[in-house]
Amino acid sequence: MEKTRKPNARGQGGLLREQIITAAAAMLDELADDEALSLRAVARTVSVAATSVYLHFPDRDALVLAVLQRCNEELVSGGDQAAAAATGPAAALRARILSQATWAQSHPGLYKVLHESAVHRRLGMPFKAVLVDRTRAAVQACMDAGAAPPDDATTVTIDLRTAVNGMLSQRINEPDLPWPPAEEQLDRFLTKLVGLKL
């Protein structure tokens, strides 16, 4: 017997939208492939008619994009909190990067979709610029404080993000390789690419 869902009270359509995003996020984390997501399957999970999903998201790409925007917000927020709890700019940058790695390890399917999805190729994800900006500001703070040698912060940030995202994606896609501890690998990136003395 199918579950029946109690409708939201009038004016609470935003709540249903959030429930749809949450359900789709859980499904994408398991599927690790945005092309495999079905709006009808999401509707079944939330116990609503498919038409209710279409009222909020005209197609699968729009729903996937909403999920990935939420994921990006979680990454930014987690990095901000980790950095705020650290002492000094070098520790703050390291905490920010470790926070990203922890999130990716907890949500490997979502991390894969966030960086490898067809939606990304079709629509782009300008909201991801916030995470880049936060990392660049953290790198610049290390340079300004003398914790890293002076350089072009944008170039260093791109190098660092390329290494970190590549490492995390490879760990998800090739889990059977003899990976060193993630923290040790990330510290090597921070030492070699940013110039931190850890």
Residue 2 placed within a domain:
no
Structure tokens at 16: 């249903």
Q: How many domains does the chain have?
A: 2
Residue 6 placed within a domain:
no
- Give the CATH number, domain containing residue 88: 1.10.357.10
pTM of the model: 0.89
* Residue 24 sits in the same domain as residue 37: yes
* Residue 111 sits in the same domain as residue 77: yes
* Residue 96 sits in the same domain as residue 156: yes
* Residue 35 sits in the same domain as residue 111: no
- Give the CATH number, domain containing residue 23: 1.10.10
Taking a C-beta distance cutoff of 8 angstroms, is the pair 24, 42 a contact? yes
Residue 24 placed within a domain:
yes
Tokens 């500001």 found at: 137
Q: Name the residue range of residue 190's domain.
A: 62-194
* Residue 115 sits in the same domain as residue 180: yes
* Residue 43 sits in the same domain as residue 80: no
Give the pLDDT of the chain (198 residues) as one tens digit per residue: 444 445 554 556 689 999 999 999 999 999 999 999 999 999 999 999 999 999 999 999 999 999 999 999 999 999 999 999 999 999 999 999 999 999 999 999 999 999 998 887 788 889 999 999 999 999 999 999 999 999 999 999 999 999 999 999 999 999 999 999 999 999 999 999 999 998
Handedness of CA 91, 197, 187, 137 (dihedral sign): positive
